[in-house]
């Protein structure tokens, strides 16, 4: 290879590494540093990616009551709908770093029982919560909420202030910090591989047909999943194939503007089509107010102001910044539910 | 001794909403352990809540109440900054009292 060629090659490599997109000229452009930063939000176990900031347990309590308690319960006990975030850890667990209740089994597993890295809790809240408005919390709020949850789990005192500086100290107190091990496979195979493939070379018989199937006792053991499917949030991919399982009426419902508004505004997080979850089922609301001509306006006002007591003690949060016509479209859509 | 209770009390329009999470096994006495022996009953029997020395709630509980009970109630007349004291006593005579501040 001539010198000139070598140089060219080296140059091509550098180009390929630095700007892979350039090979496909005319397609896209390099991501800007700001764009990369916007995606690169994960917080690692070694705390790389953790933004500076801090938050106290007492600030966390205020944010929790406002933004989290309606789903997870005032103290994170979540009994009604979601697995509890707190509970099930003892002072002894905090000392050993291994939650005894997990090994014992039979206990409901809470978040503070399972958690082996405090960064995971921070990262999860930061990216995913509150459920109906993810990524709306400030870094300080996430610190405060993390501190609040840790305090509910008796891991830090009520006066604690969590920050990027002392996350490592909390890690050292996490009840299940030593609970994870990689010294085992997914299955107990007793040292043998779990598949044994012997290639057939001669007189092999008919081509096998590969299928996938659930044993009878497992198929349908959770009932009709489509009915329980809780639609939530704007989804970028194509609609899930619910239509095939819910014949006829489904497509018409999907195209209703009230339906897409309810989806966009997080209503469906708490309101499922047929089953009562956090809030009443859409079908229940519709049948309660069928034939009541004043219901639409009353319900628009109710959703705007939030409230409780009509269906139970769980409150619905207020939705004060929604437009009147949007609220009306959503309520009209709900009142048509069957 | 049992873990402290979590108490939150909020005053609004002259009514105080109190939420309490207690930490207790609440064994019914019906459950068997791995070796088939009955797990002895161990549950909260009496619950009282007092505000400024006045009892605002008493409850008699039995083994039908779930583990780590959650209690919510309201009473009239409490003010911000005042204290509410919640006490429970179980069938083994264990007791626990914790206080929360109304805000």
Domains of chain B plus CATH, in order, are 6-31+38-101 (2.60.40.10)
Specify the pLDDT at position A322: 87
Look at residue A299 and tell me if it is in a domain.
Answer: yes
Residue A87 touches chain B, beta carbons under 8 Å: yes
Best to test chain B binding among A68, A74, A76, A154 (most B CBs inside 10 Å)? A74
Residue A268: pLDDT band by 50, 70, 90 thresholds? confident
Please give the mean pLDDT across all residues of chain B. Answer: 92
Residue A313 with chain B: CB contacts under 8 Å: 72
Identify the CA nearest to A279 among candidates A317, A243, A251: A317
Mean pLDDT of A194-214: 81
- Does the beta-carbon distance from B70 to A87 stay under 8 Å? no
Residues A62 and A160 in one domain: yes
Look at residue A261 and tell me if it is in a domain.
Answer: yes
More confident position, A176 or B67 = A176
Look at residue A265 and tell me if it is in a domain.
Answer: yes
Specify the pLDDT at position A124: 96
Mean pLDDT of B1-20: 87
Residue A152 with chain B: CB contacts under 8 Å: 6
- Does the beta-carbon distance from A73 to B72 stay under 8 Å? no
Mean pLDDT of A74-84: 77
What residues have CB less than 8 Å from A312, skipping those under 6 apart? none
Element at A101 (helix H, strand E): helix A100-104
Q: Given a cut of 50, is residue A3 above it in pLDDT?
A: no
Per-residue model confidence as pLDDT tens digits over A112-171 = 999 999 999 999 999 999 887 888 999 999 999 999 999 999 999 999 999 999 999 999
Torsion of CA A109, A143, A78, A330, to 10 degrees: -130
Beta bridge partners of A32: none
Distance (Å) from the alpha carbon of B5 to chain A's nearest alpha carbon: 10
Specify the pLDDT at position A253: 43
Using the 3D structure, point to which of A113, A143, A171 is the last residue of a domain: A171
Domain count across chain A: 2
Write the DSSP assignment of A294-313 as a string of letters. THHHHHHHHHHH-B-SSS-S
Strands B54-60 and B44-51: antiparallel
Which two three-digit tokens encode residue A285? 């609301």
Strands B70-76 and B15-21: antiparallel
Residue A22: pLDDT band by 50, 70, 90 thresholds? low
What residues have CB less than 8 Å from A245, skipping those under 6 apart? A224, A226
More confident position, A115 or A189 = A115
More confident position, A129 or A246 = A129
CA-CA distance, A203 to A211, in Å (whole number)?
Answer: 23
Specify the pLDDT at position A70: 81
Look at residue A206 and tell me if it is in a domain.
Answer: no
Q: Domain of A69?
A: 54-171
Using the 3D structure, point to which of A116, A139, A171 is the last residue of a domain: A171
Contact A299, A271 (CB under 8 A): no
Specify the pLDDT at position A269: 82
Chain A 49-68, CB below 8 Å of chain B: which residues? 61, 65
Could you give the angle at the alpha carbon of A315 between the alpha carbons of A314 and A319, nearest 5°? 150
Specify the pLDDT at position A20: 54
Specify the pLDDT at position A312: 81
- Does the beta-carbon distance from B21 to A79 stay under 8 Å? no
More confident position, A182 or A125 = A125
Comparing A51-65, A77-91, A92-106, A162-176, the range with the smallest average pLDDT is: A77-91
Torsion of CA A244, A248, A251, A257, to 10 degrees: -150
Among chain A residues, the shortest Cα distance to B9 is held by A74
Q: Model-level pTM greater than 0.90? A: no
Mean pLDDT of A295-314: 89
Residue A227: pLDDT band by 50, 70, 90 thresholds? low
Look at residue A238 and tell me if it is in a domain.
Answer: no
Look at residue A191 and tell me if it is in a domain.
Answer: no
Give the number of beta-carbon pairs within 8 Å between A and B: 21
Q: Given a cut of 90, is residue A234 above it in pLDDT?
A: no
Specify the pLDDT at position A69: 87
CB count in 10 Å sphere of residue A57: 23
CA-CA distance, A236 to A102, in Å (whole number)?
Answer: 37
Specify the pLDDT at position A2: 42
Could you give the angle at the alpha carbon of A88 between the alpha carbons of A84 and A90, nearest 5°? 145
For the ranges A180-184, A255-259, A262-266, B18-22, the one whose mean pLDDT is highest: B18-22
Specify the pLDDT at position A275: 85
Chain A 307-336, CB below 8 Å of chain B: which residues? 313
Mean pLDDT of A89-116: 88
CA-CA distance, A147 to A153, in Å (whole number)?
Answer: 10
Residue A308: pLDDT band by 50, 70, 90 thresholds? confident
Using the 3D structure, point to which of A149, A171, A193 is the last residue of a domain: A171
Please give the mean pLDDT across all residues of chain A. Answer: 81
Residues A70 and A167 in one domain: yes
Among chain B residues, the shortest Cα distance to A78 is held by B70
CA-CA distance, A178 to A192, in Å (whole number)?
Answer: 28
Q: Given a cut of 90, is residue A185 above it in pLDDT?
A: no
Specify the pLDDT at position A8: 45
Residues A263 and A162 in one domain: no
- Does the beta-carbon distance from A87 to B68 stay under 8 Å? yes
Specify the pLDDT at position B56: 96
Q: Given a cut of 80, is residue A247 above it in pLDDT?
A: no
CATH number at residue A321: 1.10.760.10
Contact B60, B81 (CB under 8 A): no
Distance (Å) from the alpha carbon of B51 to chain A's nearest alpha carbon: 21
Look at residue A13 and tell me if it is in a domain.
Answer: no
User: What percent of chain B has a predicted confidence (pLDDT) above 70?
Assistant: 99
Specify the pLDDT at position A264: 85
What residues have CB less than 8 Å from B1, skipping those under 6 apart? B94, B96
Per-residue model confidence as pLDDT tens digits over B63-89 = 999 888 999 999 998 899 999 999 999
- Does the beta-carbon distance from A74 to B3 stay under 8 Å? no
Mean pLDDT of A78-90: 79
Look at residue A27 and tell me if it is in a domain.
Answer: no
Q: Given a cut of 70, is residue A101 above it in pLDDT?
A: yes
Among chain A residues, the shortest Cα distance to B66 is held by A79
């Amino acid at each position: 290879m001539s010198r000139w060629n070598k140089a060219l090659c080296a140059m091509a490599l550098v180009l390929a590494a630095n700007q892979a997109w350039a090979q496909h000229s005319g397609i896209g452009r390099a991501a800007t540093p700001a764009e990369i930063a916007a995606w690169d939000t994960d917080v690692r176990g070694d705390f790389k990616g953790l933004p500076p900031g801090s938050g106290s347990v007492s600030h966390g309590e205020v944010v929790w009551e406002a933004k989290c308690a309606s789903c997870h319960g005032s103290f994170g006990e979540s009994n009604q709908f979601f697995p509890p975030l707190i509970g099930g850890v003892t002072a002894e667990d905090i000392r050993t770093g291994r939650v005894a209740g997990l090994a014992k089994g039979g206990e409901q597993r809470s978040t503070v029982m399972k958690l082996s890295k405090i960064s995971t809790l921070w990262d999860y809240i930061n990216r995913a919560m509150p459920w109906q408005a993810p990524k709306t919390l400030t870094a300080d709020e996430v610190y405060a909420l993390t501190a609040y949850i840790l305090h509910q789990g008796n891991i830090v005192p009520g006066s604690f202030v969590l920050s990027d500086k002392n996350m490592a100290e909390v890690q050292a107190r996490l009840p299940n910090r030593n609970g994870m091990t990689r010294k085992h496979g997914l299955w107990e195979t007793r040292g043998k591989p779990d598949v044994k493939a012997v290639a057939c070379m001669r007189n092999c018989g008919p081509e096998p047909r590969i299928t996938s199937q659930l044993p009878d006792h497992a198929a349908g053991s959770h009932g009709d999943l489509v009915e329980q499917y809780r639609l939530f949030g704007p989804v970028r991919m194509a609609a899930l194939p619910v239509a095939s399982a819910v014949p006829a009426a489904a497509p018409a419902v999907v195209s209703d503007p009230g339906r897409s508004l309810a989806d966009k505004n997080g209503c469906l997080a708490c309101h499922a089509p047929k089953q009562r979850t956090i809030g009443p089922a859409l079908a229940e609301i519709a049948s309660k107010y069928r034939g009541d001509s004043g219901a639409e306006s009353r319900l628009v006002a109710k959703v705007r102001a939030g409230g409780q007591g009509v269906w139970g003690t769980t409150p619905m949060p207020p939705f004060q910044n929604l437009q009147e016509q949007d609220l009306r479209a959503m309520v009209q859509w709900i009142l048509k539910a069957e | 001794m049992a873990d402290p209770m979590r108490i939150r009390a909020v005053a609004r329009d002259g009514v105080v909403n109190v939420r309490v999470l207690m930490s207790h096994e609440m064994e019914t006495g019906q459950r068997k352990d791995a070796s088939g022996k009955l797990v002895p009953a161990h549950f909260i029997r009496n619950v009282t809540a007092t505000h400024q020395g006045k009892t605002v709630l008493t409850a008699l509980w039995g083994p039908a109440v779930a583990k780590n009970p959650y209690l919510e109630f309201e009473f009239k007349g409490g003010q911000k900054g005042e204290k509410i004291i919640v006490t429970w006593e179980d069938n083994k005579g264990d007791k626990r009292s914790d206080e929360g501040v109304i805000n």
